[in-house]
Amino acid sequence: MLKLYGFAVSNYFNMVRMALDAKGLDYETVVSMPSQEDDWLQKSPLGKVPVLETDDGCLSETLVILDYLEDAYPEKPLFPADPFAKAQTRQMLQVLKLYIELPARRLFPGVFFGGENPALTIEEVRPVLEKGVRAVKQLGAFKPYLMGEQVTAADFVAMYSLDLAAGVAAKTYQWDLLADIPGAAELLERLGNGECAQRIAAEKNAQMAAFLSKVRGG
Ligand SMILES: N[C@@H](CCC(=O)N[C@@H](CS)C(=O)NCC(=O)O)C(=O)O
């Protein structure tokens, strides 16, 4: 059976959980934290989560895992069949990862983890996020899902990256980031109402305080 390693507060872990659930796949979750220990590096060369363990071995990197799931389990597709539409979905995935999630993540220490963000980082992140937001707005269909009528992998990456980026933007720049992407708030609400998303949210909320206390050194 597929095994997914990670922890409930991890947004990347939850993106993959949503995809596994949408595909109706049986899988086991194994609670694992990022680590630079040798054992873990055997599974995850960068020491990160999530990791998907398959009969053929382990895979890390969320977008790669999403591609693998699509190729290995094509029933209940999470990418369009048409090559161009599929590439557009992948384009959106890259935009969300590179220009929304990763820049926002640079400010997690000051926004969520009780640290202080350096002024230079604050200055650097904003223009990247602005471009990312512009690109999501331009490339997104929001009809009603991010790429059109069908739910795709991009919806799951969006729901667990736009929400965090919005939190970062609000606290750092007093910027309502979602308001700059018409349809985004409604999309997050629609996705968040699903049964799997609700289960994930309940687990995340239950573990958030302990997680924050740990990263804040408490
Ligand atoms: N590029 C990775 C990023 C995953 C990631 O950053 N996961 C976080 C937890 S949400 C992590 O493992 N952080 C520890 C680290 O970066 O060393 C992916 O797409 O899966």
- Decide whether any atom of ligand 1 lies within 6 Å of the 35 Cβ: no
Look at residue 183 and tell me if it is in a domain. Answer: yes
Q: How many domains does the chain have?
A: 2
Examine the domain organization and report whether 64 and 134 are in the same domain.
no
Q: Name the pLDDT band for 138 (thresholds 50, 70, 90).
A: very high
Q: Is any atom of ligand 1 closer than 6 Å to the C-beta of 11?
A: yes
- Angle subtended at Cα 65 by Cα 163 and Cα 78, rounded to the nearest 5 degrees: 70
CA of 131 to the centre of ligand 1 (A): 22
Measured CA to CA, the distance from residue 202 to residue 192 in angstroms comes to 11
Question: pTM score, two decimals?
Answer: 0.98
Residues spanned by the domain of 131: 83-195
117 domain-assigned? yes
For residue range 116-131, what is the model confidence (pLDDT) as tens digits?
999 999 999 999 999 9
For 46-96, what is each residue's pLDDT tens digit? 999 999 999 999 999 999 999 999 999 999 999 999 999 999 999 999 999
Ligand 1 centre and the CA of 94: distance in Å?
Answer: 15
Q: Which atom of ligand 1 is nearest to the CA of 36?
A: 17
Considering the domain architecture, whether residues 90 and 164 belong to the same structural domain is answered as: yes
Distance CA 22, CA 46 (A): 27
